[in-house]
Amino acid sequence: MVSETILSRSVLGIRYPLSRDPIFVEVTDPSKTIENILIETVTELEKAGKTHEAFQLQQTLADHFPFVKGQQYSKTHQIGVLPFQEKILEGETVYYTEVNFLKEHVGG
Amino acid sequence: MEFEISSHTKTVIKNLLIPEGKIRVFTSGIAFNAEPLVPYAKTRLPSKLKNNPSILSFLSYLFHLKPLMSFATLSNRLVSEIRQSLRNIEQKYGRQDLLANILSSFTLEQTTNLALAGIGISFSPNNECCWAIKEMESFIMEVYHPDEGTIGKWKFPPCTLGIPLFNPTELEFIVYVFDPMDYLHPFMVEAGAICMGSFSGSSSLQQIARLPDLCSKLIQLFSYAEQILVSGYRLEGEIEPAIGIFDPIFDKYRIFIK
C-alpha cells in the first residue's frame, strides 16, 4: 500500500558505498519504483555534468540492494511503501527516508 | 555522567554569539553588530536606504550594520573555545584530548552527515575510550524457508550500536551493541560484539576500509551492522548463527508462527 504522507513534500536520501554524502531526491510520484527513481537520478547527475557520480551510482545498481534501517526492499518496490518519517526543516514539514545500497550479508 | 562547562567558556561563547547590549546579525557569511538608528514605521523607507547593504530594517527600526568577522572565523573561534573546554574536561577525567581530537577531525559537512545518519560521538569514562553510537529502533526479523516462504517473525527491542574509537584515524571494524550490554540476538557473542558473518573479510569490508574518511566508514559500517541484524538470518547456509533463532530464549520476541 502506498503511504498517504508521500502526497506532502517528500525527500529520498540515497547512500551508496562510494558516496561521501547522500544524494537527495524530491519524490513527486509515490507510484514510481526505487529502480525508476535511481535511473532518473543517474540521468540527472549526467545532465549536471557529474558523470563520475552517475557512473558510480549506475555500477552500484548492478550488485547492491536497497535497505532502509536494515530492512531489505526490492528495486521494484514503489517509493510509497518506504517508511517516510516526518522532519521539520526550517519550519517546513518534510517527509524523509534514507535508502542505503548495500551488498547482502549473512550474520553468524 | 554530566560534564560541567566552565563559566568562563560560557561567557566567551555567549559574547561571541550575543554580545552585551548589542544585536548580532548573521548574513551573507558575515557576522555584523547591528546598532539601532531610528524607528521608521510611520515613514516610507527611501529606496536609497532600502538598497544599502549596511542598513537593515527590522522590528520597525533601522539598524546600521558594522561587519565584525566572517562566519568561518566566528565558527573557528567557537570550535577553538569548545575544544579547549573539552580538553579541560578530559584532563579532569584522566584521558587526554581524544574526544576533542576526534570531534575536531570532522569538517562541518561531515558533522552534518553524521547527524543526518543518526550517529553521535560519546566518551565513555568506564573504558576511557570514545564511541561512535547509533540508536536502533525496534525491528522485525523475518525468517524464510526456501519452499514454504515466511515461517516466523520475531520483534526485537531497540538498542544502541557502538563502534569504539581509540584515535581519530584508525578504526577497528567491529560493531558492538553498546546498550543494553546483555542484548539478546542470534548474532550476539560475548562482550556484546555482533558476529558480522559473511561481511568479515568480504569485498564490502575492504571497500569500507579504503574509504578516505572516518565519517564515511562509520556510516557504512553501521549500515551493514543494521542490515545483518535485521535481515541477515538464513535457515541454511555455510555460516551458523551464535544462537539459533528457534532457541526458546527468543520465544518472548516471537510474533508470528507458521
Tell me the per-residue pLDDT of B206-258, one tens digit each, with 9 for 90 and over. 999 998 889 999 999 999 999 999 999 998 877 888 889 999 999 999 997 77
- Mean pLDDT, to the nearest integer, of B16-45? 71
Asked if A22 and B116 come within 8 Å (Cβ–Cβ), the reply is yes
What confidence tier does A1 reach under pLDDT thresholds 50, 70, 90?
A: very low
Lay out the sheet containing B176-179: strands in order across.
Answer: B119-124, B129-136, B159-165, B176-179
Cα separation values, B89 from B5, B10, B82, B92, B103, Å: 8, 14, 10, 5, 14
Residue of A nearest to B208 (CA): A17
Asked if A67 and B187 come within 8 Å (Cβ–Cβ), the reply is no
Query: DSSP letter at B240?
Result: P
Same domain, B237 and B115: yes
Smallest Cβ distance to B239: which of A98, A102, A108? A108
d(CA B74, nearest CA chain A) in Å: 22
Among all chains, which residue has been given the C-alpha cell 528457534?
Answer: B246
A32 domain residue, yes or no: yes
Q: Is the predicted pLDDT of residue B7 greater than 80, yes or no?
A: no
> According to the model, what pLDDT value does residue A2 have?
47
d(CA B203, nearest CA chain A) in Å: 9
Classified as helix, coil or strand, A67 is: strand
CB contacts of B199 in chain A (<8 Å) are 105, 107
> According to the model, what pLDDT value does residue B91 have?
65
A107 domain residue, yes or no: no
What confidence tier does B177 reach under pLDDT thresholds 50, 70, 90?
A: very high
Say which amino acid occupies A9: R
Q: Is the predicted pLDDT of residue B161 greater than 90, yes or no?
A: yes
- Mean pLDDT, to the nearest integer, of A98-103? 94
d(CA A42, nearest CA chain B) in Å: 21
Structurally, chain B folds into a number of domains equal to 2
Average pLDDT along chain B: 83
Cα A12 vs. chain centroid, distance in angstroms?
5
- Mean pLDDT, to the nearest integer, of B70-99? 72
> According to the model, what pLDDT value does residue B15 have?
75
Smallest Cβ distance to B195: which of A20, A72, A107? A107
Same domain, B182 and B243: yes
Residue of A nearest to B138 (CA): A69
> According to the model, what pLDDT value does residue B28 have?
73
Asked if A72 and B194 come within 8 Å (Cβ–Cβ), the reply is no
Cα B51 to Cα A3: distance, rounded to the nearest angstrom: 47
d(CA B227, nearest CA chain A) in Å: 4
Q: Does B186 touch chain A (CB under 8 A)?
A: yes
What confidence tier does B112 reach under pLDDT thresholds 50, 70, 90?
A: confident
Same domain, B111 and B60: no
Range of A26's domain?
5-102
What confidence tier does B46 reach under pLDDT thresholds 50, 70, 90?
A: low
Asked if A71 and B240 come within 8 Å (Cβ–Cβ), the reply is no
* DSSP H or E run through B254: strand B254-257
Give me the interface pTM, i.e. the ipTM.
0.89
CB contacts of A67 in chain B (<8 Å) are 223, 226-227, 231
What confidence tier does B33 reach under pLDDT thresholds 50, 70, 90?
A: confident
Smallest Cβ distance to A67: which of B109, B113, B227? B227
CB contacts of A102 in chain B (<8 Å) are 204, 223-224, 227
Cα B129 vs. chain centroid, distance in angstroms?
16
Long-range contacts of the stretch B41-44 (C-beta < 8 A, 24+): none
Q: Which of B74, B97, B120 is the last residue of a domain?
A: B74
Q: Is the predicted pLDDT of residue B41 greater than 60, yes or no?
A: no
B93 domain residue, yes or no: no
B195 domain residue, yes or no: yes
B234 domain residue, yes or no: yes
Q: Which three cell numbers stand for residue A103?
A: 551488498
Q: Is the predicted pLDDT of residue B174 greater than 70, yes or no?
A: yes
Asked if B228 and A67 come within 8 Å (Cβ–Cβ), the reply is no
Cα A17 to Cα B220: distance, rounded to the nearest angstrom: 7
Average pLDDT along chain A: 88
Asked if B197 and A107 come within 8 Å (Cβ–Cβ), the reply is yes
A35 domain residue, yes or no: yes
Q: Is the predicted pLDDT of residue B106 greater than 70, yes or no?
A: yes
B80 domain residue, yes or no: no
- Mean pLDDT, to the nearest integer, of A37-59? 91
Higher pLDDT, B132 or B1: B132
Is the Cα torsion angle B66, B71, B72, B77 positive or negative in sign? positive
Q: Where are the alpha helices (DSSP H) in chain B?
A: 7-17, 47-50, 71-92, 98-105, 108-116, 203-210, 214-231
CATH at residue A45: 3.10.20.90
Say which amino acid occupies A28: T
Structurally, chain A folds into a number of domains equal to 1
d(CA B210, nearest CA chain A) in Å: 10
Range of B199's domain?
107-257
Q: Which of B49, B74, B99 is the last residue of a domain?
A: B74
> According to the model, what pLDDT value does residue A46 have?
93
B169 domain residue, yes or no: yes
> According to the model, what pLDDT value does residue B116 have?
86
Q: Is the predicted pLDDT of residue B1 greater than 50, yes or no?
A: no
Cα B15 to Cα B31: distance, rounded to the nearest angstrom: 13
Going by C-alpha positions, the residue among B183, B131, B134, B125 that lies closest to residue B157 is B183
Cα B58 to Cα B46: distance, rounded to the nearest angstrom: 15
